[in-house]
Chains A and B, each alone.
Chain A
Amino acid sequence: MGKLDGKVAVITGAASGMGRASAILFAKEGASVVVTDLNSQGGEMVVSEIAAAGGRAVFQRTDVTSEVDIKAAIDRAVKEYGRLDITFNNAGVAGAVGELENIEARDWDRTFAVLTRAPFFGIKHSIAPMRKSGGGSIISTASTAGIRGVAGLHAYSAAKAAVVNLTQSAAIALGHDRIRVNCICPGGVLTPLIYRGVPGGEEAAERNLARMQPIPRAGRPEDIAAMALFLASDDAQWITGAAMIVDGGVTTGNVRIRMEQLGTGGFSGPSFER
């Protein structure tokens, strides 16, 4: 018995990284999945992989900057599988990167179109079919950059913060319809989004990411997929409006003071006493 038996999911950005891992896991847990992406070749490969493992999935080419495309992806789910239970707004890019004074308005807008406007479209067009299903689970991929800004990722940080807050306002509005709206804030996860174009590629990125947070390994797409599965399943029936952090502890704080410098054990008294 799967955790998503009988459920139908649409996942954007499912040709690669976290979206791909989630599509594979959702299908393994019994969901029928509409795999969507700009990347048709990658998307078709994910569908074949799911089919080979005995799961159900179809690919639909989708540019998430287009409202028409997102609506079509959701319509496809209903046409193909009869209903909609889960929408995972996950497609993403790093977008306008670099120094603030060099960011062009056009690149800022493109970043927001992919990272913020697309989840809005995803939520908007999921409401009607989910109401018909008697409820549903909408999940978006935000980021730890949406909780604390990251210099060099100005547009990205702002766009992801918007996703967190949109999640909350939508959750309040849709709770009565049993439509749950949550987001996930990943830390540094080893996907092409991170290692593409980085000197040293995947291996160097993995080594760097392993040192970034208390848990001494890079995040994996599967870490995020596991949280997405939890939020998609009925185990999370009473969870809405939440921003679930999955980051190996990177936002937990900073180890600026090593404990040894404060002495081993004991009690640090009033500062005037020696």
Chain B
Amino acid sequence: MGRLDNKVAVITGAASGIGLATAVRFAGEGAAVVIGDLNEDGGQSAVRQCRENGGRAVFQRCDVAAEADIKALIERAVKEFGKLDVIFNNAGLGGAVGTIEEVTVENWDRTMAILLRAVFVGMKYAVPEMRRIGGGSIISTASVAGLSGGRGPHAYSAAKAAVINLTRSVALEVGKDRIRVNCICPGGINTPLLYNRLPGGQETTAQFLSQIQPIPRAGLPDDIANMALFLASDESEWVTGTAMVVDGGLTAGAALFDRAGAPQLTVPGGFSGPSFEK
């Protein structure tokens, strides 16, 4: 018996990283999954991995910056599998990077469209479908960058903080419909979003990420998928409005005696696009 038997889930950004791991995990627990992403090759491969893990899945190309694409994704879930129980608003990228005076208004707006507006649009179209079936679970990927400054680029940090508070305000409105709204704040997870953009690639990034928090290893996509699974399942029936921190202890506080030589990240300015694009 799976923890998501008979549930139908839409996951954005499921061609890679956290979304991919979550799609495979959900499929293995009995859910039917609609995979939405810009990246078609990755999306098709995600479908195969979901099926290999014993679940049902379909891919639909989707640009989360387009309202119509998200609406169509949700319609696809209903058409293909009959209903919608879970939406995981997860697609993301680094977005506008650089110092505050380097960030252009255009890049700011593009970042907000993908990291924040897409989450709003996902909620907007998921709520009526979930109400129809007597409840559901909305999950979004925020970030520890949404909890304090200095843990991500400016636009990214602002967008993720907004996702956390949007989660709260919508949770208040739809609790009576048994629709739960939560988000996850991952710490440093070794996904293409980071390692395709950092010098040295996946191994160097793993090395770097293993040193930045109390638990001495890099975060893995499965660490977040496990939390998403908990929030998607009926085990969390009374959990709503929360920002679940999964960060190996990164934000727990400071150590009085910091380990010497804590590593630093430097990223050049500009716009950091979807991780599959070089």
A99 and B254 CA atoms in complex are apart in Å by 35
Interface residue? B245 (CB, 8 A): yes
Which size class do A's interface residues fall under?
A: 35 or more
Contact across chains for B246 and A216 when beta carbons are under 8 A apart: no
Interface residue? B220 (CB, 8 A): yes
In the complex, what residue of chain A is closest to B223 when comparing beta carbons? A238
Q: Which residues of A contact B251 (CB under 8 A)?
A: 241
A64 and B265 CA atoms in complex are apart in Å by 45
A172 and B256 CA atoms in complex are apart in Å by 10
In the complex, what residue of chain B is closest to A226 when comparing beta carbons? B235
A253 and B181 CA atoms in complex are apart in Å by 13
**A234-258 interface code vs B (CB 8 A; 1 in, 0 out):** 0111111110111111011101000
Interface residue? B68 (CB, 8 A): no
* Beta-carbon contacts under 8 Å, B201-258 to A: 213-217, 219-220, 223, 226-227, 229-230, 235-242, 244-249, 251-255
A249 contacts which of B171, B216, B245 (Cβ < 8 Å)?
Answer: B171
- State how many angstroms separate the Cβ of A66 from the closest Cβ of chain B: 29
Q: Which residues of A contact B104 (CB under 8 A)?
A: none
- State how many angstroms separate the Cβ of A206 from the closest Cβ of chain B: 13
In the complex, what residue of chain B is closest to A238 when comparing beta carbons? B223
Interface residue? A213 (CB, 8 A): yes
Q: Which residues of A contact B278 (CB under 8 A)?
A: none
Contact across chains for A169 and B172 when beta carbons are under 8 A apart: no
Contact across chains for A251 and B237 when beta carbons are under 8 A apart: no
Interface residue? A227 (CB, 8 A): yes
In the complex, what residue of chain B is closest to A241 when comparing beta carbons? B252
A252 contacts which of B216, B238, B240 (Cβ < 8 Å)?
Answer: B240
Interface residue? B178 (CB, 8 A): yes
In the complex, what residue of chain A is closest to B244 when comparing beta carbons? A244
A249 and B182 CA atoms in complex are apart in Å by 10
A235 and B21 CA atoms in complex are apart in Å by 13
Q: Which residues of B contact A236 (CB under 8 A)?
A: 226-227
Interface residue? A122 (CB, 8 A): no
Q: Which residues of A contact B255 (CB under 8 A)?
A: 172-173
Interface residue? A117 (CB, 8 A): no
Q: Which residues of A contact B172 (CB under 8 A)?
A: 214, 249, 252-253, 255
* Beta-carbon contacts under 8 Å, A158-195 to B: 167-169, 171-176, 178, 180
Interface residue? A75 (CB, 8 A): no
Q: Which residues of B contact A198 (CB under 8 A)?
A: none
Q: Which residues of B contact A53 (CB under 8 A)?
A: none
A223 and B236 CA atoms in complex are apart in Å by 7
Interface residue? B169 (CB, 8 A): yes
Contact across chains for B238 and A220 when beta carbons are under 8 A apart: yes
- State how many angstroms separate the Cβ of A245 from the closest Cβ of chain B: 5
Contact across chains for A248 and B252 when beta carbons are under 8 A apart: no
- State how many angstroms separate the Cβ of B40 from the closest Cβ of chain A: 31
- State how many angstroms separate the Cβ of B267 from the closest Cβ of chain A: 23
Contact across chains for B226 and A253 when beta carbons are under 8 A apart: no
Q: Which residues of A contact B176 (CB under 8 A)?
A: 214, 216
Contact across chains for B240 and A171 when beta carbons are under 8 A apart: no
Assuming the contacts A172-B214, A175-B214, asked whether A215 and B180 have C-beta atoms less than 8 A apart, the reply is yes
Interface residue? B41 (CB, 8 A): no
A251 and B239 CA atoms in complex are apart in Å by 11
Interface residue? A146 (CB, 8 A): no
A100 and B168 CA atoms in complex are apart in Å by 32
Interface residue? A43 (CB, 8 A): no
A243 and B274 CA atoms in complex are apart in Å by 32
In the complex, what residue of chain A is closest to B215 when comparing beta carbons? A175
B168 contacts which of A175, A240, A246, A252 (Cβ < 8 Å)?
Answer: A252
Interface residue? B175 (CB, 8 A): yes
Q: Which residues of A contact B249 (CB under 8 A)?
A: 171-172, 175, 240-241
* Beta-carbon contacts under 8 Å, A208-239 to B: 213-217, 219-220, 223, 226-227, 229-230, 235-239
- State how many angstroms separate the Cβ of A273 from the closest Cβ of chain B: 25
Q: Which residues of B contact A244 (CB under 8 A)?
A: 242, 244
- State how many angstroms separate the Cβ of A130 from the closest Cβ of chain B: 14
Contact across chains for B248 and A238 when beta carbons are under 8 A apart: yes
Interface residue? A52 (CB, 8 A): no
A251 contacts which of B230, B241, B248, B252 (Cβ < 8 Å)?
Answer: B241
In the complex, 27 of the A-B residue pairs with CB atoms within 8 angstroms, ordered by the A residue number, are A169-B253, A171-B252, A172-B249, A172-B254, A175-B214, A175-B215, A176-B216, A214-B171, A214-B241, A215-B178, A215-B237, A215-B238, A215-B240, A226-B235, A235-B230, A238-B223, A239-B223, A239-B245, A240-B214, A240-B215, A240-B249, A240-B252, A241-B214, A245-B239, A248-B238, A252-B168, A253-B172
Q: With A176-B214, A219-B238 given, name 18 new contacts (CB 8 A).
A: A169-B252, A174-B214, A178-B215, A214-B174, A220-B238, A223-B238, A230-B235, A236-B226, A238-B220, A238-B248, A239-B245, A239-B247, A240-B252, A242-B244, A242-B252, A245-B241, A245-B242, A248-B240
Q: Which 10 A-B pairs have the closest CB atoms?
A: A175-B214, A214-B175, A241-B252, A252-B241, A238-B223, A235-B226, A223-B238, A226-B235, A168-B252, A240-B249
